[in-house]
Structure 1
Amino acid sequence: MKTFRDLLIWQKAMKLVTLCYEVSKKFPKEEQYGLTNQIRRCSVSIPSNISEGYGRGSGNEFNRFLKIALGSLFEFQTQIEIALNLNYISSEEFNIIYEDSRELERMLTAFIKTLNLTS
């Protein structure tokens, strides 16, 4: 692995950000500084924390930032469900985004466990 870009968790997180931006474009204009902004910020936080942790050069720091990324992912899952409850997204859109986020959750959790075993 040469860079954080080689990490599948980072690649998956980047795809989730792109999907989030595409879906949140349709949110009502009055949500621009509310849910739209918040959901985008936490989605961006996921791959950002993965890459920042990788760049710290320490297993303990990487582990800490992966856990922060996982927390942002849980925040994202909550906010996407709020968007569903408010009818900003369809059930179909929610299912796609939520399943993608759950896959990333499983990948991140497994990766964190692997790091904990090797440190």
Structure 2
Amino acid sequence: MQYEQLVVWQRSYKLAVAVYRELISLRDFSFKDQISRSALSIPSNIAEGFERYSNKEKARFVSIAKGSCGEFKTQAMIAKDVGYIATEVSDHWQSEAEQISRMLGALIKTLQVSAE
């Protein structure tokens, strides 16, 4: 299966694009860079993992993507609390991060079982 066919990759890709679009005019370049990197890391690590040969390697990169979900969710909360994004945007991003994280967790388990 190609990573582009994975719903979790598609959703994380759309989330990363939304982050870039929402924060295009944010002048706190350090924060914008950090949250953009964590969002970008999710679909990027899924893609990198699925370009690997073994399911063990795939699971490792998907696990990194899952970690980036937690990082991103925290940054979305901070962005709301400091007034960089609206509550509705933050809530949506947090919800997406939680759902994507659950999907990645299930994918990791599947990959680990098939790696044994």
Is the TM value for this pair above 0.5? yes
Please, which of 79, 85, 91 is the counterpart of residue 83 of structure 1? 79
One-letter amino acid matched to 2:70 = F
Match of 2:10 in 1: 11
Match of 1:49 in 2: 45
Q: TM-score, normalised by structure 1?
A: 0.90
> How many angstroms does 1:118 deviate by?
2.1
Match of 1:70 in 2: 66
Residues 53 and 62 in structure 1, CA contact (< 8 A), matched pair in contact too: yes
One-letter amino acid matched to 2:96 = D
Q: Which 5+ residue runs of structure 2 have no aligned equivalent?
A: none
> How many angstroms does 1:20 deviate by?
0.9
Q: TM-score, normalised by structure 2?
A: 0.93
* Deviant stretches of 4+, over 3 Å: none
Deviations 1:80-102 (A, max 9, x none): 11101101111111111111111
Q: Percent identity?
A: 38
Residues 53 and 66 in structure 1, CA contact (< 8 A), matched pair in contact too: yes
Match of 2:109 in 1: 113
SS of the residue 1:57 aligns to: coil
Residues 52 and 65 in structure 1, CA contact (< 8 A), matched pair in contact too: yes
Match of 1:20 in 2: 19
Residues 4 and 51 in structure 1, CA contact (< 8 A), matched pair in contact too: yes
Number of residue-to-residue matches in the alignment: 115
Deviations 1:24-57 (A, max 9, x none): 2243x1x11x110111111111111101111011
